[in-house]
Amino acid sequence: MLLDSRESAGSGEKGSAGNKGLVFNIQRYSIHDGPGIRSTVFFKGCPLRCKWCSNPESLNNFAELMVRETRCNGCGRCIKVCAPGALSLAASGLRLDRVKCDLCLKCIEACWEDVLELAGRQMTVDEVIEECSKDELFYRNSGGGVTLSGGEPLLQADFALQLLSSLKELGFNTALDTCGHVPWETLEKALAYTDLVLFDVKHIDSEEHRDGTGTDNKLILSNLEKVMAANMARIWIRVPVIPGYNDSDRYMQELSGRLQGMKAEKVSLLGYHEWGRAKYQSLGRAYQLNGRTPLTEERLSGIIGIFKAKGLNATAGY
């Protein structure tokens, strides 16, 4: 059963088949979220609001309808089946009144042009494992496994913990991609079932972090130190490099110095891109970083050199 637009995912809903969570995608044959070939399970809901987020459909902890207006051919089939009258045609294409929409999803069934897509559906742990298990052979042959990403997986703590535990029981390699802004008690429990932690570090200055993400970084940095001290999983630190925000040599010198004494296996520097920009329009939201230019390979290479000079294993991308 799908969540309606006003029903929160919370920490996981109990159902006849066990815990249920709100998932918006399971990306198979993923090679960017940990070692080997993986399946990445994307959870809905995030405590941060990063201005550069490339998965804006992950932010809210409820299901949402995405509308690709320019794909619409104007046939009107979806409008005819929309009882609340939430859909209409405009010069730019199909328009959605999100206040009126009740997520009955009849419009998706009526559309032949893939204009409408639901972001977020409830899945049981068994359903997620069934999907991920289709690529078990690839995991075994490549050293891959399953990565929980988002959003922030640990906002749906019960569901995420049961999923991680079940994956480990099956012998799958597990990775957790976290922003770190979750209770330590929850993160500590997850470490027991996690082989690799992908820990995001947006900024080490509290006010700059708040400006870029909507919240300070006190809990995040505290959890990072605790994850390192726990020594229960491999750790890769991931740093989104955003022009005009955290890409200066001075900041990178400071960050690399801060990370120098930690036990991270790798620092992944993720260059800014606009791959998710079109999603903002499909969700009826404004993109906040208009005018930013992605870093050149030469510039990113120079930043990598700063980290390597400190003895850190730094790479461009994942």
CATH number assigned to the domain comprising residue 37: 3.20.20.70
Average confidence (pLDDT) over 129-141: 96
| pLDDT attached to residue 3 | 38
| 145 shares its domain with 101 | no
| 6: pLDDT strictly greater than 70 | no
- The DSSP call for residue 318 is -
**What angle do helix axes 218-230 and 184-191 make, rounded to 10 degrees?**
30
Tokens for 106? 């009849």
| pLDDT attached to residue 16 | 35
Kindly report the pTM of this predicted structure: 0.91
On whether residue 251 sits in a domain, the answer given is yes
Instruction: Provide the pLDDT confidence category of residue 18 given band limits of 50, 70 and 90.
Output: low
- Residue 211 has, within 13 A of its CA and on its CB side, a CA count of 11
| 193 shares its domain with 170 | yes
| Helix or strand holding residue 31 (H, E) | none
| 19: pLDDT strictly greater than 90 | no
| 261 shares its domain with 293 | yes
| 87 shares its domain with 217 | no
Examine the fold and report which residue of 118, 152, 184 is the final residue of a domain before the chain moves on. 118
| 122: pLDDT strictly greater than 50 | yes
Among all chains, which residue has been given the structure tokens 């750790």? 235
User: What are all long-range contacts of 208-213, with beta carbons under 8 Å and residues at least 24 apart?
Assistant: 208/245, 208/246, 212/50, 212/51, 212/52, 212/242, 212/245, 212/246, 213/48, 213/49, 213/50, 213/51
| 131 shares its domain with 238 | yes
Q: Which of the pair, 71 or 146, is modelled with greater confidence? A: 146
Q: How many domains does the chain have?
A: 2
Domain harbouring 93, CATH code: 3.30.70.20
| 296 shares its domain with 206 | yes
| 48 shares its domain with 156 | yes
CB 88 within 8 A of CB 37: no
| 38 shares its domain with 139 | yes
Domain that holds residue 81: 69-118
| 109 shares its domain with 245 | no
On whether residue 42 sits in a domain, the answer given is yes
Q: What is the mean pLDDT of the chain?
A: 92
| 25 shares its domain with 149 | yes
Q: Which residues of 62-91 are buried (b: 16+ CB within 10 A; e: fewer)?
A: bbbbbbbbeebeeeeebbebbeeebbeeee
| 306 shares its domain with 192 | yes
On whether residue 6 sits in a domain, the answer given is no
Residues with Cβ within 8 Å of 140's Cβ and at least 6 positions away in sequence, in order, are: none
Instruction: Provide the pLDDT confidence category of residue 13 given band limits of 50, 70 and 90.
Output: low
| 146 shares its domain with 273 | yes
On whether residue 31 sits in a domain, the answer given is yes
On whether residue 190 sits in a domain, the answer given is yes
On whether residue 106 sits in a domain, the answer given is yes
SS3 283: coil
| 248: pLDDT strictly greater than 90 | yes
On whether residue 8 sits in a domain, the answer given is no
